[in-house]
Structure 1
Amino acid sequence: MLAECKEHGYYRGKACPICNKEGKFLMSDKELKKLSSVLIGILRHFPQQFGVRLDEHGWGDIEEICRAIRDKIDRFYWLRRKHVEALALTDEKGRYQIKDGKIRATYAHTIEVDLSDLPMADVDVLYYPVTEEEVDIILEQGILPTDRNKVHLSGSIEKAMEAGKIRTENPIILKIDAKKAMEEGIDIRKAGKDVYVADEIDAKYISKLE
């Protein structure tokens, strides 16, 4: 469940992970899962379906989003700003940013957004999972966006494997020389706790992880 501790803020679970006290209930796991799906859909894919306006950087007003969800989905008649903030601030993947009463998703968009205000990547190496059939093509042609607007890279081999197993049982991990790429003008941004985005990655920065 999602709850709020008076001393330590929002958390997920039965008790505050810091003081182990039971906080104020905000929503059940079922409600949290459904709201997460709706919110990420609005911020990444279909704001127009809810009548929500996002600016060029993907920011939307939290109060407006709450009203839109309440109007569209009866079960969320109770939804208020604090519920959205609690969901975003406790998201394990770091998929959201909140600032000045607004919220946005930081990666995996299919709508056009300008993410150039995200922080620059601060790592030397990144990783990208592929299938066996894709390896030679990518090593020759580089990485381009597929079903999303940006190329999404992982900060660790473990996370790349996790992402790759969504598509194939035995993903092959490619290594990206992020340091050299950025030194030569490739824009790579940190978009989540372990997610980095770029417009594309040239083949000369890519090698097969041995």
Structure 2
Amino acid sequence: MTPEDASKFIAYVLRHAPESIGLRLDMQGWASIDALVTGAVGGGRDLTVADVVRAADSGVKKRYELSIDGQRIRALQGHSTLQVSRSFEAAVPPALLFHGTATRFLDAIREQGLLPGSRQHVHLSADEATAVQVGQRHGRAHVLEVDAGRMHALGHAFHRAENGVWLTGAVPPEFLSG
């Protein structure tokens, strides 16, 4: 399994479908690395402990966190709503944040705003380059600017995950441009 394939597989399991390999997450999203590897191998995936550690330590996105003892792993954010209950401290966002999306979603976004879908939060980037990368995963990228300063001033809560991703419940259309 390539490092990218391993990371995508781990993200899928930890964020959305731990049961697909018989894995159990605790309420904060932690899973035993050994159980993750055992479940993956039992499901026909060629995953090793080294692959898991490499996925946690690599990439600019820093999608995962290893426990202090190195025995457990969790996804930092992006969980489906039924999987994990993580709490993040409220934080004051920068005036502008960015959201990368595919152009085919723009009409719906302009009408409804940004919604978390199956996730617990809308994910926003502090820089435009990261938003472009995110948008390209789903097709031709388009970057939306989010007036996070005005949203926050009006009482919308923002949180910042350990990897720098900004999270909020939703972004109404009137706070979007671009």
- Smaller-chain TM-score range? 0.7 to 0.9
| Alpha-carbon distance in structure 2 between the residues aligned to 1:200 and 1:140 | 13
Structure 2 residue corresponding to 1:92, chosen from 42, 60, 63: 60
**Which string of whole-angstrom CA distances, capped at 9 and with x for unpartnered residues, describes residues 68-103 of structure 1?**
223333644xx23x5422320123311111224321
Unaligned regions of 5+ residues in structure 1, if any? Answer: 1-29
The equivalent of 2:158 in structure 1 is 188
- TM-score under structure 1 length normalisation: 0.66
Cα drift, residue 176 of structure 1:
1.4
More strand by share: 1
Cα drift, residue 147 of structure 1:
5.0
The equivalent of 1:203 in structure 2 is 173
Cα drift, residue 56 of structure 1:
2.3
Identity of aligned residues (%): 25
Check the 8 A contact 2:88/2:161 in 1, yes or no. no
**Which string of whole-angstrom CA distances, capped at 9 and with x for unpartnered residues, describes residues 2-25 of structure 1?**
xxxxxxxxxxxxxxxxxxxxxxxx
Distance change in 2, residues 1:182/1:115 (3 Å): farther
- What are the equivalent positions in structure 2 for 1:54-69 lying under 5 Å apart? 54-69=25-40
**Which string of whole-angstrom CA distances, capped at 9 and with x for unpartnered residues, describes residues 115-174 of structure 1?**
323674653320124537735x64554321235442121221222223233445362x32
Unaligned regions of 5+ residues in structure 2, if any? Answer: none
SS at 2:26 equivalent: coil
Distance change in 2, residues 1:169/1:36 (3 Å): closer
- What are the equivalent positions in structure 2 for 1:99-138 lying under 5 Å apart? 99-100=67-68, 101-112=71-82, 113-117=84-88, 120=91, 122-130=93-101, 131=103, 134=106, 138=109
Distance change in 2, residues 1:75/1:132 (3 Å): closer
- TM-score under structure 2 length normalisation: 0.76
Q: Give the paired residue count.
A: 174
More helix by share: 2
Distance change in 2, residues 1:66/1:169 (3 Å): closer
SS at 2:77 equivalent: coil
| Alpha-carbon distance in structure 1 between the residues aligned to 2:65 and 2:12 | 15
Letter in structure 1 aligned against 2:72:
K
Q: Between the two structures, name the one with larger relative contact order (CA 8 Å, sep ≥ 6).
A: 2
- 1:142 equivalent to 2:113? Answer yes
